[in-house]
Structure 1
Amino acid sequence: MKPRSMLVLVLLLLVFMVGSKSVYIISETERAVLLRFGEIVNDDVSPGLHFKVPFVNVVRKFDGRLLTLDARPQSFLTLEKKRLVVDAFIKWRIQDVGKYYTATSGDEFRAGDVLLTRVENELRNQFGARTLNQVVSGEREELMDQVIQQLSQVAQDELGINVLDVRVKRVELPAEVSESVYQRMRTEREREARELRSRGKELAEGIRADADRQVTIVKANAYREAEETRGEGDASAANVYASAFSRDPEFYSFYRSLTAYKASFGGEGGDVLLLKPDSDFFKYLSKPTGP
């Protein structure tokens, strides 16, 4: 290759390198600052195609979208000195690019640490001014609004950041306190269960005793009615017997003697009965027609 051609090729390569270093593009989702030897010359470069002086100007790009930062779970004390573990998150966006770069050197992690410190301090102040019931349910929205209002102003002044939202994801008691609370709740439920069982047993005993009493009353009434009915039947039978036997006393005496003979001689035992032959017991055996 000729020296002239080589020189042209080198010049073209240098022009290409200088040109590539002179052109930069800022997208719609980015924010940027233009520096000259470390000094800000444009604190908010608009999106689009731009030119710069190579090796003199430097462009620093940052994410201009809405970002989410998870706060570390922290322990806060309420107004009544009850400790709570709070887990929150922050929604933020770069508002003043120049101030953001000056405060954090464009380091997103550094900005996050500073922002988390401010959030934790503000949450600690808000939780310390409220009771447990208020921070859990009663004034949650008001608490979040005050945190956002206070934090947004501080973040804009110090970091050039716009804090759009701060939300508490979880509020719970510490593990050692939660265990004691659960144990106390378990004990309370067991006590209520024992009371309900005792009350149920008492009601069951009352129902069972009332049922037994009613059974006894029913049996007694039935036995009384049976005895009255049996007495009435015996009386009626006695009247019938008396009426029938009064018509023929001799037949009644003969019938009674036959009944006595059957009872005496019809048994299976070997008992011995000693009577005089002329006893009244044998009067119908000795004289079948009667005396």
Structure 2
Amino acid sequence: MRNCLLLIIIIVLFSLFGSLFLVEEGERGIVLRFSKVLRDKSNNPVIYKPGLHIKIPFIETVKNLDTRIQTMENQADRFVSLEKKDLIVDSYIKWRISDFSRYYLSTGGGDISQAEILLKRKFSDRLRSELGKLDVKGIVTDSRNRLMTDVRNALNNGTSGEDEDIQVITADNTIASDSDRVENDFHNSQASINSNSMNALGIQVVDVRIKQINLPTEVSDAIYQRMRAEREAVARRHRSQGLEAAEKLRATADYQVTRTLAEAKRQALIIRGEADAATAKLYADAFNEDPEFYAFIRSLVAYENSFSNKNDIMVLSTESDFFRFIQSSKNTLVNSSQP
């Protein structure tokens, strides 16, 4: 009896713990009954908010889905602009779950990697289509924000059947097939949701952004080579202009030096001529005042110049007129010595 009671207690406790489940903050829970999403009387999925809840043990299982915004980094891919120029675009997507039951059914059990595969395929084809409508200038300037808005709206709301891009149509058909499978499970197709939109899969794209736009390596190398050639041409032009300006400055400086030296020489000759004229005038005035004294001074200067160097030898007659002042001074000394 005691063993039976203990067994019953264990079964009750095990059933109690098996019937309780916890949904953490930032998550939503959906209950699966025999692998089917549990629905209410209105055929709407039953979604459990954060907290402690009860389910039927062994029959129902719980799948918790993240309600937070997810970030999907896209690998840089090659796209073609309106001018048929290749661009390497690096981007990312912010998305969240908008319909948990649709998301669970479309991703095969709430697999994030499967959701990102569908989202990446749709995003890549839609971005390729939108970039093909713009030139490079429009992509990197003001049209970029409008481009991101158009891509986000196309992902959330889907595209019309008039879209002629084969790749976009292919991606839309893939999403539409998954959406039809979800609608069949609902047994209540909602005409307000486009079957080729991400909303049909329970996914809402919050934001789409382009992080970086680069040119392919072969194109960027060619552009860099052209830019380098242009810069080198500009540098050569500046150097030639600098050399020309230097030659002009050098020629101007040489001209100014030559002109200054010539002017200085001219002024020196004028001053020297004026000085010589003044000297000659002084000599002439002195000669006119006292010719004898002038002759005497000139003779003294001649004596000084002639006898200053002892190595010089002069052979002259003592009766020469050159020594007349010496002879006259000698005679004067002799006469003064006699009584």
Give the TM-score normalised by structure 2: 0.77
User: 1:88 — aligned with what?
Assistant: 91
User: 2:114 — aligned with what?
Assistant: 110
- 1:162 is aligned, of 184, 188, 204, to 204
User: 1:144 — aligned with what?
Assistant: 148
Q: Deviations over 1:130-160 (max 9, x none)?
A: 1111111231111111111101123434421
Q: Tell me how far apart the structure 1 counterparts of residues 318 and 37 of structure 2 sit (CA, whole Å).
A: 159
User: 1:50 — aligned with what?
Assistant: 53
* 241-250 or 31-40, which deviates more: 31-40
**Letter of the structure 2 residue corresponding to residue 55 of structure 1:** F
Query: Does the CA contact (< 8 Å) of 1:95 and 1:156 recur in 2?
Result: no
**Letter of the structure 2 residue corresponding to residue 95 of structure 1:** S
Other structure's SS at 1:217 match:
helix
Q: State yes or no: 1:225 paired with 2:225.
A: no
**Letter of the structure 2 residue corresponding to residue 40 of structure 1:** V
**Letter of the structure 1 residue corresponding to residue 139 of structure 2:** V
Q: State yes or no: 1:14 paired with 2:56.
A: no
Q: State yes or no: 1:37 paired with 2:34.
A: yes
Number of residue-to-residue matches in the alignment: 286
Q: CA deviation at 1:227?
A: 1.8
Query: Does the CA contact (< 8 Å) of 1:44 and 1:97 recur in 2?
Result: no
Q: CA deviation at 1:277?
A: 4.6
User: 1:119 — aligned with what?
Assistant: 123
Q: Deviations over 1:32-76 (max 9, x none)?
A: 322221222232413144332222222222101111111111111
User: 1:284 — aligned with what?
Assistant: 325
Instruction: Report percent identity of matched pairs.
Output: 41
Q: Tell me how far apart the structure 2 counterparts of residues 262 and 91 of structure 1 sit (CA, whole Å).
A: 115
User: 2:78 — aligned with what?
Assistant: 75
Other structure's SS at 1:267 match:
coil
* 21-30 or 73-82, which deviates more: 21-30
Query: Does the CA contact (< 8 Å) of 2:119 and 2:198 recur in 1?
Result: no
Q: How does 1:169-184 map onto structure 2 within 5 Å?
A: 169-184=211-226
- 2:100 is aligned, of 68, 87, 97, to 97
User: 1:153 — aligned with what?
Assistant: 157
- CA, structure 1 residues 257+50, in 2 after alignment: closer, same or farther (shift >3 Å)? closer
Mind listing any 5+ residue stretches in structure 2 that lack a counterpart? 40-44, 159-196, 332-339
User: 1:204 — aligned with what?
Assistant: 246
**Letter of the structure 1 residue corresponding to residue 261 of structure 2:** K
* 251-260 or 79-88, which deviates more: 251-260
Other structure's SS at 2:232 match:
helix
Other structure's SS at 1:80 match:
coil
Q: Tell me how far apart the structure 2 counterparts of residues 86 and 174 of structure 1 sit (CA, whole Å).
A: 10
